[in-house]
A and B are shown apart, each in its own frame.
Chain A
Amino acid sequence: MDLQIALLLGQDGITNGAIYALLSLALVLVFTVTRVIFIPQGEFVAFGALTLASFQAGKTPGTLWLLIGAGVVVALVDLSIALRAGATRKIPRIVAWNLVYPAVAAAAVFLLKPSEFPLLLQIALTLALVVPLGPMMYRLAYQPLAEGSVLVLLIVSVAVHLALVGLGLLFFGAEGSRTPAFSDASFDLGLVTVSGQTLWVVLASFLLIVVLFLFFERTIYGKALRATAMNRTGARLMGISTVMAGKLSFLLAALIGAFSGILIAPITTIYYDTGFLIGLKGFVGAIVGGLGSYPIAAAGAILVGLLEAFSSFWASAFKEVIVFTMIIPVLVWLSLTTRHVEEEE
């Protein structure tokens, strides 16, 4: 290995690491706010990438059907609860978000021709289809069990993951897709050429992290999420709805996931089940941060990216083995430094 290859691998590692960092932030966010270990994060990555690819290929993405279907189920559940409780003033809101919004999205997909849209608009439409699935998923799968143990929520996560992977196969088929790069530019820095897409990924990730930081520090909703993460009961006593906090954190996680998928799709071919491994690598990062610390999680995720890039050079067949075995020394370190505090369940 010479310096040039090392730089190339480093560039690869940082690009992937930036994506893992985004995902690990979303995982820490969801875990601290809802205690859900968000295994289906990876499916949002795949859905984001494959929905965009469908638009570009002039096909109707299956995620549209998922949005409509999930919307109908949420509407049925929420309407029956609202009617039984006599809370009629909630009805317009339920109908608007779960029935009207998917209908509008469907109209946009069918009446306009998304395949002729500029890339930016295609991305916006992709996010508009995929991101609302986050809160809907929270409503259907997690909210009825919100007070359950971490373990029950984890099993639910795995079940949701499995169902979504199956749906991904149904919607997008077994073939992978790759989307064109955001930019074809490349910059020659002497020893190494940096591709425009790499810069896009790193800059967009960085920007998103800054936006998230501002959201948590400066906005009332961001503060509400932080309060819920710190103390659920306390937050509820202050009038913060834990349901709202749960849905909001899932919305953000879905946004981050789908956006990561869009960023990474020009670099790697994405299959219906690729998201899972990508999401899990974000997890390894999140676990490095003890599922609690944002900056350590992000640093851990970048480390995962670098480790992956370099191990694919030295022992490409064992790339995944090496990345996932990295979790073991991390767990050793955590078990030596953390004092186990018992959960009251």
Chain B
Amino acid sequence: MMSPRLVLAGFLGLLLIAPLVVSEFHVTLLNYIGLYAIVALGLVLLTGVGGLTSFGQAAFVGLGAYTTAYLSTAQGLPGWLVFLGGSPWLGLLAGVLFTAVVAYGLGFLTLRLSGHYLPLGTIAWGISLYFLFGNLDFLGGHTGMSGIPALSLFGLELKDGRNFYYMIWAVLLVAIWLTHNLLDSREGRAIRALKGGTVMAEAMGVDTARSKVVIFLVAALFACVSGWLYAHLQRFVNPTPFSLNIGIEYLFMAVVGGAASVWGALIGAGVITVLKQWLQDWLPKLLGASGNFEMIVFGVMMILVLQLARDGLWPILVRAMPQRKSRRPVPQGEALPKKPVPQAGQVLLEARNVVKRFGGLVANNNMNLTVKAGEVMALIGPNGAGKSTMFNCISGVDAATDGEVLFRGQAVNKLGSRQIAALGMSRTFQHVRLLATMSVLENVAIGAHLRGRKGVTSAMLHLERGEELRLLAEAARQVERVGLQEFMFEPAGSLALGQQRTLEIARALCADPCLLLLDEPAAGLRYMEKQSLADLLRKLRSEGMGILLVEHDMDFVMGLADRVVVMEFGEKIAEGLPDEVQRDPAVLEAYLGGVD
């Protein structure tokens, strides 16, 4: 049976000999596929993985192409630019820097808004830049710029398409390798978490705004490099290949190929480029008129792909290929440093007169509670009593309208959930928030985000393998601790709901918290599973962890909790030891109705 590694080796071998055996025309086609795939790869990262999108990638390609075209051809550059003139390599450097600045500015403006402003912004920016290229005299206007020098590499001038082929495909393969590495890292997990919404990622300490800017920048830079290659391949640039329509085509490549996989970019670029070539030959003959009629086919094809095979062609190809069944080894690594554990009995959390209003509705009114290190505090109450709202106020997911929350003596009501997580508070969600297609291990490892330090560059080059192994080993330990080891490499979405809740606990533990907030952890668990969960929580308590628990299962709560707070209609109606609370008349009335 063929292993994926063998398939990859075969593919690389074919790439290597292709220009020696195919015609000039096909080399050119392969060159364009390579150039487009570099851009589409950026969109895979942005759209397929990060859930953002851009129709303006062609404009970034244009920035790269025009920067090098201008710098390498212009006579009498302004004084402050002279040092960049003359060399394509300096043109690349300038293009990359320029693109980074523009992309950062655009990303900064639009990424904070809800998802659709970014693509709309990129449409506007794509059109503006296209008209700007066409109307600036020093960029040659609509006629463009010619006489761009050829690239030379180790003294070899890349003058013909066959030479350039190796350059383009080497760049593409490096870009695929970098992207692949990035996704398989701590930063990569943070990026992949974006698609599941920012609430969970932020609560695990991920700076989601930063992750979004990172992928937008990477996508823009890939486009810029593709443009630089294009300029030196064609040795001529004009505005046409950088128009909005081409930007849309890039997005089609990513979506048709399969926006969730790095290889999807290559498949998409190949399919769309070949199809376009073919349609441009045949459609005008068929319709008896000349024009870009391939647009009609692309548009319809795109709609059908989105309706019938949302994940694109790559997953379909993968299913046709032999699957690797080998069992992966459980990551082993040195333990990560732990924060000092607070002394048992020390007050960890104190909520003072917390008020939360949603418009006219008061969800929490003057709520007070404390949680000490080494105790289990249960927050109970009928449905709609405001327990989850209280959780959100404490963990910074939602800001309290009034009142104060102190965590380890520090006021945290003004902080976001990310900062609070960094202080040592970790939580689970009532409605599980997992990345269904990621493995259990990777989901849990998101919890350890704040325990790693290595950034995007080292992730792309895989220079952070030591730290990565320690993070994964920590995640594996937590998976084993909650008893999910047999599902370690299964996709999280394949677990039963109760197990998914347990997974969330492992993820929270992975952050090395001193206070754990659990929102209905026992819901959906079977009796034996509840027993082992209770054992786990008892063990954590004995290690000095503070636990705040929202739960409906009274047997579970009363057998475990040290103290109980009862809420109804947003207010505290009772507090005390489990036995006292169970006899409290106000509690009985809230749960059982009035006893007249």
Contacts and interface: CB of A to CB of B under 8 A. Distances in A.
Given A144-B307, A164-B299, A154 B53 contact: yes
Contact of A155 (B121, B245, B255): B255
Interface stretch (B1-9, B124-132, B528-536): B124-132
A151 interface: yes
B354 to A, nearest CB: 20
A332 B112 CA distance: 10
A283 B287 contact: no
A72 to B, nearest CB: 15
A342 B199 contact: yes
B170 interface: no
Interface in B137-174: none
B55 A158 contact: yes
Interface in A112-165: 140-141, 144-145, 148-152, 154-156, 158-165
Given A155-B53, A155-B302, A37 B120 contact: yes
Secondary structure of the A contact surface, majority rule = helix
Interface residues of A, number: 52
Contacts of A170: 287, 289, 291, 293, 296
Contact of A335 (B110, B115, B119, B125): B110
Nearest to B134: A317
Contacts of B292: 166, 169
Nearest to A167: B296
A230 B47 CA distance: 28
Contact of B115 (A150, A324, A328, A344): A150
A295 B125 CA distance: 25
Contact of B127 (A144, A152, A320): A320
Contact of A166 (B112, B120, B121, B295): B295
B596 to A, nearest CB: 36
Given A163-B295, A334-B113, A280 B307 contact: no
Contact of B299 (A144, A162, A331): A162
Given A151-B119, A163-B299, A340-B114, A169 B131 contact: no
Interface string A293-322: 000000000000000000000000110110
Contacts of B52: 151
Contact of A151 (B51, B132, B287, B299): B51
Contacts of A174: 291
Contacts of A159: 252, 298-300, 302-303, 306
A318 B295 contact: no
B289 A173 contact: yes
Contacts of A37: 116, 119-120
Interface in B284-325: 287, 289, 291-300, 302-303, 306-307, 310
A335 B113 CA distance: 6
A41 B125 CA distance: 19
B251 A158 contact: yes
B346 interface: no
Given A166-B293, A324-B125, A155 B112 contact: no
Contacts of A318: 131-132, 135
Contacts of A162: 245, 248, 295-296, 298-299, 302
A180 to B, nearest CB: 27
A334 B114 CA distance: 10
Contacts of A161: 299
Interface string B197-241: 111000000000000000000000000000000000000000000
A165 B295 CA distance: 8
B109 A338 contact: no
Contacts of B296: 162-163, 166-167, 170
B86 to A, nearest CB: 30
A329 to B, nearest CB: 9
B394 interface: no
B489 interface: no
A340 B289 CA distance: 48
B295 A332 contact: no
Contact of A338 (B113, B128, B306): B113
A141 B123 contact: no
Contacts of A140: 303
B117 interface: yes
A341 interface: yes
A163 B123 CA distance: 17
A277 B127 CA distance: 9
A280 B302 contact: no
A345 interface: yes
B159 to A, nearest CB: 36
Contacts of A335: 109-110, 112-113
A255 interface: no
Interface in B230-279: 245, 248, 251-252, 255
Contacts of B115: 149-151, 343
B113 A340 contact: yes
Given A155-B53, A162-B299, A338-B113, A325 B306 contact: no
A162 B293 CA distance: 10
Nearest to B123: A280
Nearest to B197: A342
A328 B248 contact: no
A224 interface: no
B197 A163 contact: no
Contacts of A334: 113, 117
A106 interface: no
B127 A341 contact: no
B131 A321 contact: yes
Contact of A343 (B114, B291, B300, B302): B114
Contacts of B300: 159, 163
A151 B248 contact: no
A152 to B, nearest CB: 6
Given A150-B115, A318-B135, 5 more contacts: A162-B296, A162-B299, A163-B299, A280-B124, A320-B128
Top 5 nearest A-B pairs by Cβ distance? A163-B299, A166-B296, A159-B302, A166-B295, A162-B299
6 contacts: A155-B302, A163-B303, A166-B299, A170-B296, A277-B127, A321-B131
